[in-house]
Chains A and B, each alone.
Chain A
Amino acid sequence: LQTPLIFVLGKGGVGKTSASYAMAKHNAQLGKKSLIVQWSLADSAAGFTKKSSPFNLHSQSNYDENHQFQKETELEQGIYTVNYSFQETLREYFVEHLKQKILHSLVVENKHVQKLLQASPGVQELFFLGRIFWLIDLAEEERGWKYDHVIVDSPSTGHGSSLFGLARSIGKFGLTGPLGEECRRVQGLLDNPKKTGYVIVTLPEELPIQESRELTLKVKKEIGYGPLCFFLNRHISQKFYDQYSEIKHEMDNFLPETKEILSVLNKSYSSSISLASEFKKEREEDFIFIPEASLEQKDILECWLSSFQSHIHARVFST
């Protein structure tokens, strides 16, 4: 993959976890080590779909109901995963990083301060970014953790895009002290396209595509550069559609009601295909189609990996 840090962005349920896992798997096949960072806090719907996803990242031992642990866990050769926990990150930041144990136990752990921290817009997100900064720039020195790539399986669109302008807008409150410093270094990392990249996952449906357009504009405005590529998931392949279109020569065998349903389905398939190709046409970035698994008689991971293989020259994969 091109950058050491990659954010996987997109609307809920489009396949961000699949994309994250597939990229890590792709890396592993090249002998590289990846860490997948997940955040289920305040976005438990994603946590649930992840549990039921074929990759099942969250059923691993580092995950518990209260998201209390954030130990790195090796899923398989070369693929590690870690779950973000706000409390644990606060503790590590103040106690281990700033060496301010007393400040942490007297102030940060105070229950009123806790309430305020949890309710204040942007604070949890800021520490999430701070954690990622730590993973990229400091983890090797402080813990001996070394990854070729950190892949952030971002929370769904709303949170996903707001992460990029967050440190700058929090900076406007005129923060000084360690929080102010944290904002500056986090924004420095995000603003650097040599270190940070992002991909956008979408589906061939109207709303996800519209949201991807808005998401791209918003993120580009915040950090000044566009996505490494788009992944268009659950794509109806031309091969399937060609076979399906052949049905029109057999119409005499069907009931009139069947014919009506076939034309409704036809409209749905063809609109997916045209939405996908129109979106591709309007973008300058690389566009990678991942076929709908149920139509291909392949499993989901195979669909992703074989699409990567056929786009191996795409910018996102070059180093």
Chain B
Amino acid sequence: MKQYSKTNLHIFMGAGGVGKTTVSAAFAIACAKEGRKVALFSIDPARRLQDALGIEALTEKGIFLPLPQHFLGTCLASTIHVRETIDRWVMESSLAPERREKLLSHPMYTALCDKFATSTDTFAGARIAEWLQSGEFSDIVIDTAPGLHALDFIKKPDKVADFFDGKLVEWLKLFFSPEADKLSFVQKIVKSGAKKLLDGMGKIGGDRMVSSLADFFILLDAVFAKMLERVRVTSDHFRTPQTKFYVVSSVRQDALNVAIHLKRNLTAIKLNRSLFVLNRCLPDFFFNDMKKVKSEFLRDYFSKLNSMQTQVCDELLRQGNDCVTLPWLAQSHNSEIVNSLYVLGEKLIKSSEGLV
């Protein structure tokens, strides 16, 4: 199998409901047609899209999209499965089998998975690294969670590890790890100082909270260190010329505000290879035709929509960024959706060439 040392990373961002998932799938399919080996990672894939692409359910490891014969490349599609991925990381860790079981059944473990399920950014960051490091893909297309803070982890990849580096955790380990009896002289002194703090915490949540937490952190340490390493790999890759950001908006004021803010967030962390994609635009000839409609109500509606579209376009261009406009996805039956997506994706590839 060919190994790719320089994987292209395409990150799609934007507000909810702007069509990010569709646009990123379209882009991935268009890349696959040209013969590239693509991995598509969607945080929030619609059932409808999965059905249309002929896949029953996206698994944790991903499945290859059934593409037409004349497509030269492949597209592996996957979505976020927090629990399964973390379970797998635990199984792949260096923990002894009985320690793994203990971690998987720890009451805090489920709470931890839930926490990651609500911070998909960090989690996805670690997940993407597995693909980057595999070298199996020429292109990775990421459809991020809607909203502004999809990339917070680039700013502070260490944020996730803050508490693991903290002294408190050291203390907890010191007190509760199996080797606690064999302490050095210095450690014994530290221990007596830390004892007061731990006793204080015991007052808040009971002694069992402290020992339960300590136990948990010790078990999780190896898994977590690996995860942090992965987040850093992705975060570093974001800074290379192989990574491009596509900020998707639709013709709505709220979606536009989110897009502009996202772009500012990217610039603030010095990620400048980004471009706006204005999705579901209507062409001028359409608006001209709508002026002839008999219903005054509809004429009024489409004229407002027209000025809104112009306003949104102008505003995006004012941000000093390139902006690609995309039409509505052509209406098609499930059997032809790959082709409609390909047409949309090809338009995006062509119009963004030389821009970013």
Contact = CB atoms under 8 A, between A and B. Distances in A.
Interface of A: 11-13, 42, 44-46, 48-49, 52-53, 103, 106-108, 110, 112-113, 115-116, 118-122, 158-159, 162, 169-170, 172-180, 203, 205-207, 210, 243-244, 246-247, 250, 253-255, 257-258, 260-261, 263-265, 267-268, 294-295, 297
B197 A179 contact: no
Contacts of B201: 107, 113
Contact of B147 (A12, A53, A261, A265): A12
18 contacts: A13-B15, A13-B254, A52-B254, A52-B257, A106-B196, A116-B168, A116-B169, A121-B114, A122-B115, A158-B114, A170-B111, A174-B212, A210-B47, A247-B298, A250-B293, A257-B283, A261-B283, A264-B329
Given A107-B200, A116-B166, A206-B48, 15 more contacts: A115-B166, A115-B168, A116-B213, A158-B118, A175-B205, A175-B209, A177-B204, A243-B295, A247-B293, A247-B298, A250-B292, A260-B330, A261-B328, A264-B329, A267-B331
B38 to A, nearest CB: 23
Nearest to A179: B205
Contacts of A107: 197, 200-201, 203-204
Contacts of A120: 163, 213
A159 B115 CA distance: 9
- Consensus secondary structure, chain B interface: helix
Contact of B204 (A103, A173, A261): A103
B202 interface: yes
A108 B204 contact: yes
A177 B207 CA distance: 9
- Consensus secondary structure, chain A interface: helix
Nearest to B15: A13
Contacts of B292: 250, 253-254
Given A115-B166, A254-B289, A261 B206 contact: no
Nearest to B257: A52
B107 to A, nearest CB: 5
Contacts of B16: 11-13
A260 B166 CA distance: 61
A45 B147 contact: yes
Contact of B289 (A162, A176, A210, A253): A253
A70 B33 CA distance: 54
Given A113-B201, A116-B163, A176-B206, A261 B286 contact: yes
A261 B285 CA distance: 11
Nearest to A234: B17
Contacts of A112: 166-168, 171, 197
